[in-house]
Amino acid sequence: MRLYGFDSNLNVIELGACDCQAALTTFEQCYSNGLNIYKSAEDAVAATSFGLYQSETDFIEISCNGKDQVTVHSDRLWYPSWFAKTFGLKRHFFIKGDKEKGAEIVRDYFGMERQAFENKFKEALCR
């Protein structure tokens, strides 16, 4: 698993390999940063968002937008059928939750196969 963040110009900054504990520590820091006020939206995103990925297409991006306001975005990779992949409109995950939900998602991303992860959060599928 690899970790990335953003600079104040919203460029992706590669932060290297990480384990679940390092990802949870990053999440805690971003969550704490989400309680602050920033001079610009770019500075806020850089301080409160990060991503985890296993490949170019297998990723989650986490934003801590304030007290108990965590959002997670990911693209859908697993489809139950060829028909669903071809004609399905729900191609992204947008998961909203509190601090505990955010930590749960990080742990699940490390601990589950991608198909199981997507099945668990299928109610968060969107266009």
Cα–Cα distance, 37 to 121 (Å, whole number): 31
pTM of the model: 0.85
Task: Write the pLDDT tens digit of every residue in 4-17.
Answer: 999 999 999 999 99
64 HSE (CA, 13 A, CB side): 30
pLDDT tens for 68-114 read 999 999 876 655 666 555 665 556 778 899 999 999 999 999 999 98
Domains in the chain: boundaries:
2-126
The answer to whether 27 and 103 have CB atoms below 8 angstroms apart is yes
Q: How far apart are alpha carbons 116 and 111 in whole angstroms? A: 10
Residue that has been written with the tokens 């679940």 in this structure: 20
